[in-house]
Amino acid sequence: MTKQVEKVDRVIIRFAGDSGDGMQLTGDRFTSETAAFGNDLSTLPDFPAEIRAPAGTLPGVSAFQLHFADHDILTPGDAPDVLVAMNPAALKANLKDVPRGGTIIVNTDEFTSRALTKVGYTASPLEDGSLDGYKVHKVALTTQTVKVLEEFDISRKDAERAKNMYSLGLLSWLYHRPTDSTVAFLEKKFAKKPEIAAANVAAFRAGWNYGETTEDFVVSYEIAPAPMPKGTYRNIHGNLALAYGLIAASHASGLPMFLGAYPITPASDILHELSKHKNHGVRTFQAEDEIAGIGAALGASFGGALGVTTTSGPGIALKGETIGLAVSLELPLVICDIQRGGPSTGLPTKTEQSDLFLAMFGRNGEAPVPIVAPRSPADCFDAALEAARIAVTYRTPVFLLSDGYLANGSEPWRIPDVADLPVIAPDFATGPNKVLEDGSEAFWPFLRDPATLARPWAVPGTPGLEHRIGGIEKQDGTGNISYDPANHDLMVRTRAAKVAGIDVPDLEVDDPSGAAKVLVLGWGSTYGPIQAACRRVRREGNQVAHAHLRHLNPFPANLGRILKEYDRVLVPEMNLGQLSMLVRARYLVDAVGYNQVRGLPFKAAELAGVITNLIGTTDAVEGVGV
Amino acid sequence: MPELLKLTTKDFKTDQEVRWCPGCGDYAILAAVQGFMPSLGIKREDIVFVSGIGCSSRFPYYMNTYGMHSIHGRAPAIATGLAASRPDLSVWVVTGDGDALSIGGNHLIHALRRNVNLKILLFNNRIYGLTKGQYSPTSEQGKITKSTPYGSLDAPFNPVSLALGAEATFVARTIDSDRKHLTSVLQAAAEHEGTALIEIYQNCNIFNDGAFEKLKDSSVRDRHLIRLEHGQPITFGAGEDRYGIVRMPDATLKAMPLAEAGDSVLVHDAHADEPDLAFALSRLPDPATLSPTPIGVFRSVRRPTYDTLMSDQLDDAARRLGSGKLDELLTGSDTWTIG
């Protein structure tokens, strides 16, 4: 039969199934095909913390959402156009997000009365009319997969497992995805089990062919490649980009990297990745605990390495004392906090931005630490380089505040030219820096660079510069122990001035018309949803400005001026108002918070509504003639 | 070569005023370490002392080498990062019984099992000194202190037993006031490749004075002190009153009058593959009376060091894959090009 081909500009697909159904893998493969095809894309994996939650239950549902388009997009999308539901639990957990008229592909084999009862369905939603209004495709995915694989010498269980590849094949047909990379991927993944590899490839192709032949699907869709700036691209996850950024910083500074880390979700992938790259001189140390992880990194920094520790909120809570020591010793250290829902264990696999105060203030004493936050998965690369630049230049620990959404989300990344990367200069001390009254020369470990207030970094092995540093207050200049009141006051103020004086670029404002009265101020991973929301608001004919902070400590010098240029300032955050409290305190600006802690990124449509409402209030004020 | 470096004890002293209490055992240890350092034949700039928090942890300020006075309990972790990233350095950790065995217990046992090239000097005075006199994890049970007016309830750690249980490759014990013995143990530790733990019985004359008096007082110490020497029979005592250590049928060790013990006196083997003799020796003293207390090297065996293994992995990767090229890494294998 001849099938129709329809052109669309963007699609949002959500794959959902049991934790063991391979939905993350399916999503990843579809993403790779889509990246290779040249669409712009953004992804959102959403999975439970349990490795294998009880099968067929609502808490066990694992999902992967992918948004791809023929134009520049910013988020994984608000609502799926297509839901692939591998069982009743996946349908029940995700149906509420699918707008009426959306497409639902279900694996009918799993809709047994037992499976339905398990999630509280009294009748099958496939038959009781509750899916009226959706385009439902009922496919016996398991049966069809097993039938295709009858001739393979594999167990029934292995055959059933290949149903995710069957569904991937079907979706790949539906959206005209290139298939070569998936075939190559399967052959490599199962290289040691060629029969399993062949079976998965067969299931994948059978899914494709089913789409082409069945009368159930009469339309397939084309999404043209998106125009993007010239360059070579790859698809990249936030944690991978962050790891690459750290390695790039090691190359750029000539400092060998030392990572001290303890396994923790969602940061562990950075440890995994860095541990592969020993030929780049990267030392990775899986420590006995979070405290040892940062301790070892700080010890390595003392020895002249680029010390790095990676963790999430609970780990930062444990590292606090050592961060304070790093502030006091004034040694470079990059502290990566891949934020997750809190407090305590919280939501290990879900995203949140609630560690901003922890990064700003979570130490005893006056212990300022610079903070850098990436805005998108690919931006984790640049943000990691920037964190390392500040750490090395100013001899200070630096927070890199990523989060679970950036860590596991992915997007196309234009691979930078290595020659264009910033140079980071460690400028190790090589000789005495002080002439004493008697004319002799000495090395003073706390005699600062007058411009940056950074102290000299003299590493062991350098003759003549032997010195002792510690967490006790130091005398200005000599670094000797000092309990002198005036000296302590001076040192506290000097450390604060050093961080406050860090050279950070001015904040740029996206205000195309220049006529906006409302400014949306964000930081970190909310960039995509906020920017998408602003575009919606503008498409509707309203004016709104967007500024997004990469540097949260110190703030860009022009932030205060920008905030005062707008009638209203809206600060959307995935916390209860941490940045808004900081800007209110610092700039006396009546910032309005919009806050959610649902473990998921903001939806652009919802934010657009909030912005539009706020714009309405400014108009009203004008109308009254105030 | 010490001769070439021509360093003296004076070279290892700093201009900082030493601020321990007059009469503290730390002075004797500092003098012994400063006196021993020139014999190492290592340049001052290649030596680092790292400490935690406590009286003993002020030590680095008085050593004219590189040094870091860090935070409570974490010195082994910090030193691990330094030693693992800089195998060319000689890294020493100075800690106390509270620092190493209470707040920092986890780091100590993991440093020992990893066999990082660290020399750990554990000053054990069986009390918290800097916080003014609370009982410590090595205090005898029932200890009356400010925080335990009715007597402490917990059983103490035996640091040598603990280290042996933590897979330590080198464990020794010595006494602050016995400079010759202390120096000989430092020498043995310095020669050892890997983590060396030296427990140093150290007198806190303010809060726990005389804790080790019977091991120090020349009129009685020979009755309580066993000087372990590899390859030598394990004996102690004075005059006619001499004992040998023998293994009983139930495998426990016992002190037996020499005349009675005869040939059955055990010969010390610090290099034995299994740590059972060392462990049994560590259990000999009564925790309350500390008699009879073995000092010297309990165990010294060879095992690859963590820092060497780590460097070997890096070298091996560079040999197999070539030195890492950043542009190749960033490009990866799955790309597309526009333009």
Predicted confidence (pLDDT) per residue in A405-415, tens digit: 999 999 999 99
- Provide the pLDDT for residue A623: 43
Name the pairing type of β-strands B241-247 and B253-257.
antiparallel
Q: Measure in Å the smallest separation between the Cα of B266 and chain A Cα atoms.
A: 38
pLDDT tens by residue, A294-316: 999 999 999 999 999 999 999 99
- Provide the pLDDT for residue B4: 63
Query: CA A124 → CA A96, A102, A114, A132, distances in Å?
Result: 16, 19, 11, 13
pLDDT surpasses 60 at A622: no
- Provide the pLDDT for residue B76: 98
The beta-carbon neighbor of B84 closest among A283, A416, A417 is A283
In this structure, are residues A481 and B61 in contact, taking their beta carbons and an 8 Å threshold?
yes
pLDDT surpasses 90 at A43: yes
> Which of chain B's residues have a Cβ under 8 Å away from the Cβ of A303?
48, 81-82, 85-86, 89
Main-chain phi, psi angles of A173, to 5 degrees: -65, -45
Pick the CATH number of A509-621 from 1.10.3720.10, 3.40.50.300, 3.90.1170.40, 3.40.50.920: 3.40.50.920
Name the pLDDT band for A626 (thresholds 50, 70, 90): very low
The beta-carbon neighbor of A231 closest among B70, B332, B338 is B338
The single-letter code of the amino acid at B246 is: V
CB-based contact B332 A234, cutoff 8 Å: yes
Q: Between residues A469 and A621, which one has the greater pLDDT?
A: A469
> Which of chain A's residues have a Cβ under 8 Å away from the Cβ of B95?
none
pLDDT surpasses 50 at A236: yes
CA gap B275, A227 in Å, rounded = 69
Domain A234-420 CATH superfamily: Thiamin diphosphate (ThDP)-binding fold, Pyr/PP domains (3.40.50.970)
pLDDT surpasses 70 at A138: yes
> Which of chain B's residues have a Cβ under 8 Å away from the Cβ of A300?
81-82, 84-86
The beta-carbon neighbor of B85 closest among A244, A256, A280 is A256
Identify the residue among B11, B59, B330, B334 best suited for mutation to test binding to A, counting A beta carbons within 10 A and taking the highest. Answer: B330
Q: Measure in Å the smallest separation between the Cα of B337 and chain A Cα atoms.
A: 4
Q: Please name which of A349, A267, A344, A368 lies closest in space to residue A309, comparing C-alpha atoms.
A: A267
Arithmetic mean of pLDDT over chain A:
96
Q: In which residue ranges of chain B is pLDDT below 50?
A: 1-2
The single-letter code of the amino acid at A575 is: N
CATH architecture for the domain at A4-222: 3-Layer(aba) Sandwich (3.40)
pLDDT tens by residue, B128-145: 999 999 999 999 999 999
Eight-state DSSP code of residue B117:
S
> Which of chain A's residues have a Cβ under 8 Å away from the Cβ of B81?
258, 260, 285, 295-301, 303, 305, 307
pLDDT surpasses 60 at A84: yes
Instruction: Show Cβ contacts of residue A232 under 8 Å, excluding neighbours closer than 6 positions.
Output: A414, A415, B331, B335, B336, B337, B338
Identify the residue among B66, B313, B316 best suited for mutation to test binding to A, counting A beta carbons within 10 A and taking the highest. Answer: B66
> Which of chain B's residues have a Cβ under 8 Å away from the Cβ of A464?
45
Exposure on the CB side of residue A584, measured as CA atoms within 13 A: 12
pLDDT surpasses 60 at A48: yes
Q: Measure in Å the smallest separation between the Cα of B30 and chain A Cα atoms.
A: 16
pLDDT surpasses 70 at A620: no
- Provide the pLDDT for residue B334: 83
Q: Which residue has the tokens 């490759």?
A: B169
The single-letter code of the amino acid at B186 is: L
Domain locations in chain A? 4-222, 234-420, 431-451+460-503, 509-621
pLDDT surpasses 50 at A625: no
CA gap B303, A498 in Å, rounded = 46
Whole-structure pTM value: 0.95
Torsion of CA A89, A90, A93, A96, to 10 degrees: -130
Q: Measure in Å the smallest separation between the Cα of B81 and chain A Cα atoms.
A: 4
* One fold for A4-222 and A509-621: no
Q: Which residues of A422-449 are buried (b: 16+ CB within 10 A; e: fewer)?
A: eebeeeebeeebeeeeeeeebbbbbbbe
pLDDT surpasses 50 at A123: yes
Arithmetic mean of pLDDT over chain B:
96
Instruction: Show Cβ contacts of residue B33 under 8 Å, excluding neighbours closer than 6 positions.
Output: B12, B63, B121, B186
pLDDT surpasses 80 at A109: yes
Query: Tell me, what's the ipTM?
Result: 0.97
Q: Please name which of A258, A247, A249 lies closest in space to residue A459, comparing C-alpha atoms.
A: A258
